Structure 1
Amino acid sequence: MPRSVATNLQMRERSRERILSAALEVFAQKGYEAASISDVTARAGVSRGLVGYYFASKRDLAAQLLDRWLDGIAGILEIPGTPDERLAGMIDGALMAAAMTLPVQRLAISLMMQPSTHGVFAEVETEKSGRMALVEDAIREVFAARGAADPAVEEMLLRATLEGVTVKLAIYPETFPLEPIRRRLYAGYGLPEPKEPLPVPSPPVDRLRAKP
């Protein structure tokens, strides 16, 4: 009996997801430049032809992963509440995303920072320009509602701070004290102290050191 259209679509989506998951693992392990399509096919357990069916190139694989990363950032548009509650939600959302999706965070950071791959990041960011502008405007609206003199500068500073936290967490996942940093951010913005800690590991404050 022929498979239904819905079943075929589900199988294709599973194959696509398996390839993307394998690509993320390979990029995280070897780095984007050193990784090859053959590495991805071997990790995913699929043929090169199947990878080519869904993704035109290694660059396309990375772009698709970055695309999802940027969509995750856009999740702040759905945070409800007062300006203070929305700002707290933005901080928590960014910290949770950093802690729980370190492989894709590392990929995004490496693509942004390396001159040879910065173009990949820039292309995806340009494609998502409209949605990213909505994110920027949402953050600026929160700061405007809180009485900031220059909401645009506050938006850029918040994003730079959170991105810096993400970089440090990606480098020092075993020693970065995420919860104390979160509470310091709350205090810096005059937000009420959070009632509960984030549900992710947070070592005590000591020194940032990479574990061998």
Structure 2
Amino acid sequence: MSPRSASVNEELRRRSRERLLQATVELIGERGYEATTLADIADRAGAARGLVSYYFPGKRPLVQSAVHRLMHMTLSAALDSQQDLSDGHDALARAIDAILSLTITHTKVMRVHMAGILQAEGFIQCPEQQQLAALLEQSVARYGSGHATEDYRLLRALLMGAVVALLLPGAPMPLASLRLELFQRYGLDWQLGMPPQGEPPVRR
């Protein structure tokens, strides 16, 4: 196989994988986890059923990869829209806002994702998760951390905790309160990033 043919095949595989991931997010958001089958995902993506099994060992890993891709794309778009690229505090604020906002706009998808992480399969370090991790770690480094890898893990844990608090059935925490808590933890001004409408909550 020529180098050009190999490159074309690689691009086709990448596009097929991305169509499957996009279809997964769409269907989970519409139907939920249990009502979405791998065959449904393949049909929505316009792919053969066997292609899903070729890329992913099961539905849970597929969902995790799909949500990690969604998170990475959302975070990437948020950082790309940043006007002052030298402002590391704004970069971290945008990273926090990007993840919290997904919990509001894709509640069903994020609930399925968090439930999957707590299942036996646990946290899957797929290529999409690694891309997300790299972007979050870059945001922490731009913020000024001298130990970006270690501090990224702490940020990831704090964000996961905030997402769970937003999704908690019967007793969800308000987005503004969680945002304020995270922003104060990192010394970020409320107006940085993509602040929600209204005044910041007042601590009593």
Give me the whole-angstrom Cα distance separating, in 2, the residues matched to 1:126 and 1:137: 16
Larger Rg: 1
Determine if the alignment matches structure 1 residue 166 to structure 2 residue 166. no
Structure 2 equivalent of residue 109 of structure 1: 114
Contact 2:72 2:132 in 1 (8 A): yes
Give me the whole-angstrom Cα distance separating, in 1, the residues matched to 2:172 and 2:130: 37
Structure 2 equivalent of residue 7 of structure 1: none
Give me the whole-angstrom Cα distance separating, in 1, the residues matched to 2:76 and 2:21: 27
Structure 1-normalised TM-score? 0.60
Give me the whole-angstrom Cα distance separating, in 1, the residues matched to 2:196 and 2:161: 19
Give me the whole-angstrom Cα distance separating, in 1, the residues matched to 2:136 and 2:53: 31
| Superposed displacement of residue 15, structure 1 | 10
Determine if the alignment matches structure 1 residue 180 to structure 2 residue 185. no
Contact 1:177 1:204 in 2 (8 A): no
Structure 1 equivalent of residue 135 of structure 2: 135
Considering only aligned residues, what root-mean-square deviation do their CA atoms show, in Å?
A: 4.0
* Percent of residue pairs identical: 18
- Aligned in 2, Cα 1:60/1:20: closer, same or farther, shift over 3 Å? farther
Give me the whole-angstrom Cα distance separating, in 1, the residues matched to 2:202 and 2:57: 39
Give me the whole-angstrom Cα distance separating, in 2, the residues matched to 1:70 and 1:15: 13
Give me the whole-angstrom Cα distance separating, in 2, the residues matched to 1:14 and 1:131: 17
Determine if the alignment matches structure 1 residue 154 to structure 2 residue 179. no
| Superposed displacement of residue 25, structure 1 | 4.8
Give me the whole-angstrom Cα distance separating, in 2, the residues matched to 1:61 and 1:20: 12
Give me the whole-angstrom Cα distance separating, in 2, the residues matched to 1:204 and 1:175: 18
- Aligned in 2, Cα 1:22/1:204: closer, same or farther, shift over 3 Å? farther
Q: 1:91 aligns with which of 90, 96, 111?
A: 96
- 5+ residue gaps, structure 2, are 1-17
Contact 1:24 1:65 in 2 (8 A): no
Q: 1:41-56, aligned counterparts within 5 Å?
A: 52=49, 55-56=52-53
Structure 2-normalised TM-score? 0.62
Determine if the alignment matches structure 1 residue 126 to structure 2 residue 126. yes
Give me the whole-angstrom Cα distance separating, in 1, the residues matched to 2:67 and 2:93: 21
